[in-house]
Amino acid sequence: MHGAGNDYIYVDTFRYPIANPEEKAIEWSKFHTGIGSDGLILIGYSNKADFNMRIFNADGSEAMMCGNGSRCVGKYVYEYGLTEKTEITLETLSGIKTLKLQVDKGIVIAVTVDMGSPVSTGSVLFGDEFPYQSTQVSMGNPHLVTFVEDINQIDLPEIGPKLEHYPLFPDRTNVEFAQIIGKDKIRMRVWERGSGITQACGTGACATAVAAVINGLASRKSEIIMDGGAVTIEWDEVTEHVLMTGPATKVFDGEITFS
Ligand SMILES: N[C@H](CCC[C@H](N)C(=O)O)C(=O)O
């Protein structure tokens, strides 16, 4: 399944428990020798919410949250009959998220996720090393958002890993470059921690929208346009919660035999 092109392998661990998800995420995410994806997402039991979600990047590292993945989990559990509810709670390592499914003739066509409040924000100056003034935003997972005049000038494969592994970020960071292309319209590209360039990043879109408000570049509701598609983000003024609305798409079901 994918959310705006950010594709993961989804496993229902009620039926297929995975003992070593870190290794399987690495093995199955490979394009030529595996299935090919940005990582692995496990859907499972929770004693605190309707379901539990764990997300592993393509390098096997486990992340606190995955915005695009959470929308696809909502689609999965509804369409595969694990629930009949269209408002679902999902336990993640960054807390319990609430999903509202938009269903049309039994198919989930979009999902709104309450991503909670930004955990922290901050400004980063790199001095002579990089000509950037960036904004750090944690959505449970770390993001570094840099607004530029022309996003097409950014060599993401070159600068992405340098910033991901920058010493200032002991847990590494997801890296977003963004350009304001209209009123409350933001073009964003992402180098993800643990996966590299992806077509979209849900938590990264939230971080970008929050950073745009903090820097006075957009209002509290904006559209984030990424390589693989767009999501709408609303940072509620009263609750401070960030609401993300976007698509969730199934590509195929498959079977893989493994030891
Ligand atoms: N690479 C991220 C996890 C996936 C987040 C992203 N795919 C999303 O949709 O939020 C991290 O290590 O924090």
| CA pair distance 181, 225, nearest whole angstrom | 10
pTM here? 0.97
Average confidence (pLDDT) over 60-67: 98
Which ligand 1 atom sits nearest the alpha carbon of residue 143? 13
β pairing state of 51-57 and 39-44: antiparallel
Q: How far apart are the C-alpha atoms of 51 and 247, rounded to whole Å?
A: 20
Q: Which band of pLDDT confidence, cut at 50, 70 and 90, is reported for residue 258?
A: confident
How far apart, in whole angstroms, are the C-alpha atoms of residue 38 and residue 210? 24
pLDDT band of 86, cuts 50, 70, 90 = very high
Pocket of ligand 1 (CB under 6 A): 6, 55, 57, 63, 66-69, 141, 174, 192-195, 198, 201-203
Answer positive or negative: Cα dihedral of 99, 101, 102, 107.
positive
203 CA closest ligand 1 atom index: 10
147 vs 51: CA distance, rounded Å: 36
Q: Categorise residue 160: left if φ over 0, alpha if ψ from -120 to 50, beta otherwise.
A: alpha
201 catalytic per annotation: yes
CB 199 within 8 A of CB 6: yes
Which residue in 4, 72, 201, 233 is the catalytic one? Answer: 201
Annotated binding site, which residues?
6, 57, 67-68, 141, 174, 192-193, 202-203
Query: Under CATH, what is the fold of the domain 120-244?
Result: Diaminopimelate Epimerase; Chain A, domain 1 (3.10.310)
Q: What confidence tens digit (pLDDT) does each residue in 102-111 have?
A: 999 999 999 9
Mutate to test the pocket of ligand 1, among 37, 66, 138 (most ligand atoms within 8 A of CB): 66
What does the pLDDT read at residue 62? 98
* Homologous superfamily assigned to 2-116: Diaminopimelate Epimerase; Chain A, domain 1 (3.10.310.10)
Structure confidence at residue 128 (pLDDT): 85
**For the residues 148-165, what does the mean pLDDT come to?**
97
pLDDT grade, residue 114 (50/70/90)? very high
3-class state of residue 47 by DSSP: coil
Asked if 2-116 and 120-244 have one fold, the answer is yes
Cα of 71 from ligand 1 centre, angstroms: 13
**pLDDT mean over 74-94:** 98
How do the domains of the chain map onto residue ranges? 2-116, 120-244
